[in-house]
Structure 1
Amino acid sequence: MFLQNFLVALPLFCIIGLGYVFARFKVVSIEIGNALSKFSFTVIIPILLFRLMSDLPKLPAPNWLIGVAFFGSCFIVFAIGYFIGRKFLHLDRDGQTIFGMAGVFSNNIQLGVPLAISLLGKESLPSIAVIFSLNGFLMWTLATIAIELGRNKNPSLLKTFIKGTSATIRNPIVIGIVLGAVWGLTRLTLPAPAQKAVDLLANSAAPIALFAVGVGLTQYRITSNLRITSAVTILKLGVQPFVVMVLCHLIGLNLEETIAACLLACLPVGVNVYIMSQEFHTMQGETANALLITTALASFTVPMTLTIFGLT
């Protein structure tokens, strides 16, 4: 089972490695990688999700309890990380927040979408769409509230919630999901030229997004503070998948939903955590380390975790 999962995931991680090698040898520049990443996030991945979600009426209705399992694990592991950061790593409150977020904020879009489709098929789409549509909003809101609570004894939680909701509504990923679902409900079909254009762009989403991830990784270097990085890696690649699996079983999700939730929990640290560290001026080096190391390890840990959990 491990070999089967590994061989399915390996080509995707090879594309990441290819992007890394091309950037390291200056065949492509960081600016090109950033442009590809922006293009994948704002154009081709939303179009891919639009195409997939337009088939939603043909698929089983999503079980929204998968969101309870996945985001429940995020809150639990975040609390564990926050405690470890304070008690054992002696981080300040901002550092504790970023450390906790690194343990739960996955690279769901650039890596999660291609992996889920390759390993699980489009039948998993209703389940993963629930997580994709809420992930950015909930994680950024959680981080912002935690930072404000640490800095300000009377934070404006309502203002933070409104700001997070506004950002979610304008998120291209959410727009692609919503428009695709609405279009699917109409039972209409696109004109042939438009459908062909959608197909061409959607088919390019996975390789472009993954190549951009590889290029982007060259911006980060292994530095000191490997103790913190190692703790993040254990939380992200080990503890969170385990907590998700336990919650899935407690809630009573079926096998397909459990696999989808665990797969997304197995993913490496997302670049949003590094953006958070820059936004709040803390843990930049440690977060960059975690992003690089967890992405490199994920090619082995993702199929290994699914196999250990008996999820195939």
Structure 2
Amino acid sequence: MLDVLAVTVPVFLIIGAGYLAVWRGLFSQGQVDGLMVFTQRFAIPCLLFLAVSTLDLAQGFDWRLLVSYYSGAMACFVAGILGTLFWLRRGAEDAVAVGFAAMFANTVLLGLPIAERAFGADSLTPNYAIIALNAAFCYLTGITAMELVRAGGGGFLRGVTTVARSMSRNSLMLGVAAGIAVNLSGLPLPGPADEAIRLIASAALPAALFGLGGVLVQYKPEGDARGIFLCCAIALILHPAWTWGMGRLLGLEEGPFRAAVLTAAMAPGVNSYLFAAMHGKAVRISASSVLIGTAASVFTVSGWLLLL
């Protein structure tokens, strides 16, 4: 157990340091916003570009890995919707927003550093394969469901077009796309360019973890306690449990299996709140689930690592 805590606690200590720094006024909200702009638009795209440009695409995009993880994500989406409708007794649009929060795991800011510390940098190929599809899959699923319950889905095409346009300008997606292009071309990067990108990428995860802590100060633990519990329980327990079962059923190899389960065990990502705010539904539940889910994942992720 001490070995597991040695993996997870340093990651959450960096998040806690960022939270404390902003909460106590040592780091302003404007400064943390600037830090997150650097990590989200520059450092993390460089990290994803380097990873995907050297990725064994045939090995990384194993259909068993993707089915194990994304069938779990869809199960969480459905469970969040049903739980909101029949347990919380809230409307269909709120149900979609809660389902999205339960489905959208923090695959990058939490998933990558914990997986790297647990299993080493050479083990991250399956993680990058999951990350490459995560935003597009979750947003298209969420937008589709939201538009289907709004005016009979009349705005579906407009919603999908908006998401496609947003994804085409998203820095993380651009980093992944550029990495795939270099990978398929087989052309090496010039030495100085490669070194410069690696220097920027080396700052990505620690800076992003500190920034994540600062961002979480904005998400006050308020709203429907049962809704927050529902969302966090689905994200932290159902998703990794489903992925575990599917991975074993499909005969997923040990490395991808561990990556899929551990990634599925991550807390709801900040995009959960952004989706809820974009539609004006279940905003407090989504925001609080990001904060409380991240705090609770100190223990739940450690538990899943112990099982793995």
Which residue matches 1:15?
Answer: 14
CA distance in 2, matches of 1:232, 1:57: 35
> 1:198: Cα distance to partner?
1.6
Which residue matches 1:255?
Answer: 254
CA distance in 2, matches of 1:224, 1:164: 28
Q: Is the aligned partner of 1:177 residue 2:194?
A: no
> 1:83: Cα distance to partner?
0.9
> 1:136: Cα distance to partner?
0.8
Judged with a 3 Å threshold, the aligned counterparts in structure 2 of structure 1 residues 202 and 151 are, in CA distance, closer, same or farther, namely same
CA distance in 2, matches of 1:41, 1:289: 22
Count of residues in Structure 1 that have an aligned counterpart in Structure 2: 308
Worse overlay, 119-128 or 51-60: 51-60
CA distance in 2, matches of 1:106, 1:154: 26
Q: Is the aligned partner of 1:204 residue 2:218?
A: no
Worse overlay, 180-189 or 233-242: 180-189
Q: Give the counterpart letter for 1:132 in structure 2.
A: I
Q: Give the counterpart letter for 1:50 in structure 2.
A: F
> 1:177: Cα distance to partner?
2.2
Worse overlay, 108-117 or 253-262: 108-117
> 1:186: Cα distance to partner?
4.8
Which residue matches 1:42?
Answer: 41
CA distance in 1, matches of 2:233, 2:258: 20
> 1:229: Cα distance to partner?
0.9
Q: TM-score, normalised by structure 2?
A: 0.92
CA distance in 2, matches of 1:22, 1:4: 28
Secondary structure of 2:152 counterpart: coil
Worse overlay, 25-34 or 176-185: 176-185
Q: Is the aligned partner of 1:52 residue 2:51?
A: yes
Which residue matches 1:102?
Answer: 101
Which residue matches 1:62?
Answer: 61
Q: CA RMSD in A?
A: 2.0
CA distance in 2, matches of 1:154, 1:283: 20
User: 5+ unaligned residues in a row in structure 2: which ranges?
Assistant: none
Which residue matches 1:231?
Answer: 230
> 1:48: Cα distance to partner?
1.1
Judged with a 3 Å threshold, the aligned counterparts in structure 2 of structure 1 residues 61 and 290 are, in CA distance, closer, same or farther, namely closer
> 1:129: Cα distance to partner?
2.1
Q: TM-score, normalised by structure 1?
A: 0.91
Judged with a 3 Å threshold, the aligned counterparts in structure 2 of structure 1 residues 65 and 165 are, in CA distance, closer, same or farther, namely farther
Q: Check whether the contact 2:105–2:268 (CA below 8 A) recurs between aligned residues.
A: yes
CA distance in 2, matches of 1:57, 1:282: 40
Which residue matches 1:135?
Answer: 134
CA distance in 2, matches of 1:186, 1:9: 37
CA distance in 2, matches of 1:156, 1:283: 20
Q: Give the counterpart letter for 1:258 in structure 2.
A: F
Judged with a 3 Å threshold, the aligned counterparts in structure 2 of structure 1 residues 168 and 224 are, in CA distance, closer, same or farther, namely closer
Which residue matches 2:115?
Answer: 116
Which residue matches 1:167?
Answer: 166
Judged with a 3 Å threshold, the aligned counterparts in structure 2 of structure 1 residues 154 and 21 are, in CA distance, closer, same or farther, namely closer
1:223-272 CA distance string (max 9 Å, x none): 24212111111111111110111111122211111111111111111111
Q: Sequence identity, in percent? A: 29
Q: Check whether the contact 1:77–1:240 (CA below 8 A) recurs between aligned residues.
A: yes
1:81-135 CA distance string (max 9 Å, x none): 1111111100111111111112111111222222222223333333122211211
> 1:61: Cα distance to partner?
4.6
Judged with a 3 Å threshold, the aligned counterparts in structure 2 of structure 1 residues 133 and 245 are, in CA distance, closer, same or farther, namely same
Secondary structure of 2:124 counterpart: helix
Judged with a 3 Å threshold, the aligned counterparts in structure 2 of structure 1 residues 17 and 279 are, in CA distance, closer, same or farther, namely same
Judged with a 3 Å threshold, the aligned counterparts in structure 2 of structure 1 residues 233 and 58 are, in CA distance, closer, same or farther, namely closer
CA distance in 2, matches of 1:200, 1:59: 28
Secondary structure of 2:268 counterpart: coil
> 1:159: Cα distance to partner?
4.2
CA distance in 2, matches of 1:25, 1:3: 30
Q: Check whether the contact 1:104–1:265 (CA below 8 A) recurs between aligned residues.
A: no
CA distance in 1, matches of 2:289, 2:60: 36
CA distance in 2, matches of 1:154, 1:295: 33
Judged with a 3 Å threshold, the aligned counterparts in structure 2 of structure 1 residues 157 and 282 are, in CA distance, closer, same or farther, namely closer
Q: Give the counterpart letter for 1:87 in structure 2.
A: F
Q: Give the counterpart letter for 2:129 in structure 1.
A: V
1:148-178 CA distance string (max 9 Å, x none): 1111114354444444334333322222223
CA distance in 1, matches of 2:60, 2:283: 40
Judged with a 3 Å threshold, the aligned counterparts in structure 2 of structure 1 residues 51 and 247 are, in CA distance, closer, same or farther, namely same
Q: Check whether the contact 1:262–1:306 (CA below 8 A) recurs between aligned residues.
A: no
CA distance in 1, matches of 2:145, 2:24: 40
User: 5+ unaligned residues in a row in structure 1: which ranges?
Assistant: none
> 1:52: Cα distance to partner?
2.2
Judged with a 3 Å threshold, the aligned counterparts in structure 2 of structure 1 residues 155 and 104 are, in CA distance, closer, same or farther, namely same
